[in-house]
Structure 1
Amino acid sequence: MNIRNLKIGMRLTLGFGTVLLLLVAISAVGIWRLRDMGLAVESMAERALVKERIAAEWLVATSTNSIRTFALVKSNDADNLKYFQKGITQTSLGITENSKKLFDLLETDAEKALFEDSVAKRAVYVGLRGSLMRLKADGQNAQVTQLTEEKLVPALAAYDASIKNMLVHQKSAIDQSLVSIDALNHSSQRNMLVLALLGLGSLVAWRLTIGIVRPLGQALQVAQTVAAGDLTTWIEVTTSDEAGQLLQALKDMNTSLVGIVGQVRQGTDTIATASGQIAAGNQDLSSRTEEQASSLEETAASMEELTSTVKQNADNARQANQLAVSASSV
């Protein structure tokens, strides 16, 4: 099928239909992007932020217990020792519970490796802290001080650093998620902008199609009506563009044809009148010709009668002459 044989309206519809298909495709991509962004935000809210919060609570709880531990080392009051030990035990149970929650949320090998490093260093630190408490309970303050300075402090520093490493990793993951979400957001905004522009373009295209096809259809109808011999159609021109100019030209042509037809009709009437006059003249001429023919017939009859009389007179004269000759001879 040759596209040039299609009507202009159909060709415009096909073109703008293609634009609408692009509009639908971009809309689908935009919706998909928004879905991805929603999933990314949901994942960050439900996992990344939760993991970062648990790691931060773990670090705070560890710092709190370390303060209690050093206070326990310095204190010699039995009630204070019991108070610090109770607080350390409760906080340690909370750390254990949070570590289990965090483990269930881990996804990557890097997260798991950092978690296992923190758990291992915690085990070393907790073991040294237990030994320190036992020594403190036995009143071996010198060994408590030595154990604290030589082993507990380095173990605590390593344990604290491992938790911070885990926390930094989670914050980095959150930052990466934010970057991805921001990229998705910008991409979605661009898609929405393109979508809006295509929507506006489709609306303009629709109006242009109507503005082009409707006057052309009207012009075609006028041309077909004129071709059928009907010059009474009223042509209304509402625009000054090419289609409006075409309608105006058809209107002018229709007006000119009406004038020409009027002139032809007037000429026809004149010819008919002249023909009538000629026919009347011919009739009068025929009547006169008949009268003249009748007069000629009468003249011919008179001439024939005159000829007969002359002939008779000649005969009479000849007879008289003969009688005269006869008389003279007697």
Structure 2
Amino acid sequence: MRNLRIGIRLALGFGVVLLLLAIISGLGVWRLQEVGNAADAMARRTLVKERIASEWLVATSTNSIRTFALVKSSDAADQQYFQKGIAQTSLGITENSKKLFDLLDTAEEKALFEDGVAKRAVYVGLRGNIMKLKAEGQNAQVAQLTEEKLVPALAAYDASIKNMLLHQKATIDQTVTAIDALYRSSQFSVLVLAAMALGLGVFLSWRLTTGITRPLGEALRVAQTVAAGDLTSRIETSTRDETGQLMQALKDMNASLVGIVGNVRQGTDTIATASSQIAAGNQDLSSRTEQQAS
């Protein structure tokens, strides 16, 4: 890592942070989509099934009230009115049950639906027989059949619809719990990754900063030392990046200056020696000249 160029190190550091940010964003979008899909499935299917089952139960209760009113009624007009209402509501139940069947997803739901349909067939069959006996004026048989057969059949029929309704409500509760758990886990995952990205960003910035400024500071110290005329610095290079190359250049420069100074000193010594010899020769020549003159 220390031998990589500064530009490459900066690119790698920012690249890692950006990658983590991309992962965080992708995870957030993915989890939000999962939450949206779960909520959409609940709104489009489970809640619709629960509503249809509720309407089925209400319609059945309404028809049962009409049936008992018809059984108790002795007025032909009232009986005809109740029969018409029963027929219309029964048709609506049939249509809603078909819609419900098309929305069923699991084997358990289908089993509950089939149980409700079977219980309804028994109840509707008994109700038809009672209405026929009522039309024939066999009130005693109507009362007996209603008490012994129709009431238990209606109770079983209502129970089957309630089982379907309870199942849908339980499914809704499970879906809500799953959505809440998914939201919490998504929130935790995003926070953890964000903390990791922040920590890694701080660490990388520290490493990059120290990896650049520390060698530059050392290079500045060496340059100032050389500028002050001190060529005795021991310059070490341990990297091959730009700062390492700078330190190597300073080392080479320092060595060159040491060589130049050494050559200058050697030349100065040579000149001094020659000057001394010339001065001695001049002194000797002067002495001889004085001797000859005397």
Please give the TM-score of this superposition, normalised by the length of structure 2.
0.73
How far the C-alpha of 1:6 sits from its partner, in A, is 5.0
Residue pair 2:73, 2:79 contacting (<8 A) in 1 also: yes
Larger Rg: 1 or 2?
A: 1
Task: Determine the structure 2 residue equivalent to 1:239.
Answer: none
Residue pair 1:16, 1:202 contacting (<8 A) in 2 also: no
Task: Determine the structure 2 residue equivalent to 1:188.
Answer: 186
Q: Separation in 2 of the partners of 1:157 and 1:14?
A: 73
User: Which residue among 140, 144, 147 is the counterpart of 1:146?
Assistant: 144
Task: Determine the structure 2 residue equivalent to 1:157.
Answer: 155
User: Which residue among 99, 102, 107 is the counterpart of 2:105?
Assistant: 107
Residue pair 1:125, 1:159 contacting (<8 A) in 2 also: yes
User: Which residue among 198, 209, 212 is the counterpart of 1:211?
Assistant: 209
In structure 2, what residue type is equivalent to 1:294? T
Instruction: Answer yes or no: is 1:77 the counterpart of 2:75.
Output: yes
In structure 2, what residue type is equivalent to 1:112? K
RMSD between superposed Cα atoms in Å? 3.7
Q: Separation in 1 of the partners of 2:215 and 2:293?
A: 80
Q: Tell me: CA distance 1:184–1:75, structure 2 relative to 1, closer, same or farther (3 Å).
A: same
Matched-pair identity in % = 59
Q: Tell me: CA distance 1:287–1:21, structure 2 relative to 1, closer, same or farther (3 Å).
A: closer
Gaps of at least 5 residues in structure 2 are 230-253
1:101-120, CA deviations, whole angstroms, 9 ceiling, x for partnerless residues? Answer: 00000111111111011111
Instruction: Answer yes or no: is 1:132 the counterpart of 2:134.
Output: no
Q: Separation in 1 of the partners of 2:286 and 2:130?
A: 169
Task: Determine the structure 2 residue equivalent to 1:294.
Answer: 289
1:184-233, CA deviations, whole angstroms, 9 ceiling, x for partnerless residues? Answer: 11111111211321232244234324432331242254367569x5569x
Q: Separation in 1 of the partners of 2:185 and 2:72?
A: 60
How far the C-alpha of 1:13 sits from its partner, in A, is 7.1
How far the C-alpha of 1:86 sits from its partner, in A, is 1.8
How far the C-alpha of 1:26 sits from its partner, in A, is 5.4
Instruction: Answer yes or no: is 1:171 the counterpart of 2:166.
Output: no
Q: Tell me: CA distance 1:31–1:289, structure 2 relative to 1, closer, same or farther (3 Å).
A: same
Q: Separation in 1 of the partners of 2:283 and 2:100?
A: 138
Q: Separation in 1 of the partners of 2:150 and 2:79?
A: 18
Q: Separation in 2 of the partners of 1:288 and 1:161?
A: 142
Q: Tell me: CA distance 1:192–1:152, structure 2 relative to 1, closer, same or farther (3 Å).
A: same
User: Which residue among 45, 48, 56 is the counterpart of 1:47?
Assistant: 45
Q: Separation in 2 of the partners of 1:31 and 1:287?
A: 100
In structure 2, what residue type is equivalent to 1:166? M
Gaps of at least 5 residues in structure 1 are 233-256, 300-330
Structural mapping, 1:1-330, within 5 Å: 21=19, 24-25=22-23, 27-219=25-217, 221-222=219-220, 225=223, 229-230=226-227, 283=279, 289-299=284-294
Q: Tell me: CA distance 1:18–1:287, structure 2 relative to 1, closer, same or farther (3 Å).
A: closer
Q: Separation in 2 of the partners of 1:10 and 1:287?
A: 70
Please give the TM-score of this superposition, normalised by the length of structure 1.
0.66
Q: Separation in 1 of the partners of 2:54 and 2:208?
A: 65
How far the C-alpha of 1:49 sits from its partner, in A, is 0.9
Q: Separation in 2 of the partners of 1:197 and 1:288?
A: 89
Q: Separation in 1 of the partners of 2:49 and 2:213?
A: 67
Residue pair 2:46, 2:168 contacting (<8 A) in 1 also: yes
Q: Separation in 2 of the partners of 1:292 and 1:195?
A: 98
Q: Separation in 1 of the partners of 2:27 and 2:275?
A: 89
Q: Separation in 2 of the partners of 1:291 and 1:148?
A: 164
Task: Determine the structure 2 residue equivalent to 1:246.
Answer: none
Q: Separation in 2 of the partners of 1:62 and 1:215?
A: 83
In structure 1, what residue type is equivalent to 2:135? A
Q: Separation in 2 of the partners of 1:23 and 1:191?
A: 13
How far the C-alpha of 1:79 sits from its partner, in A, is 2.6
Q: Separation in 2 of the partners of 1:24 and 1:179?
A: 29
Task: Determine the structure 1 residue equivalent to 2:234.
Answer: none
Q: Separation in 1 of the partners of 2:204 and 2:220?
A: 24
Q: Separation in 2 of the partners of 1:288 and 1:60?
A: 142
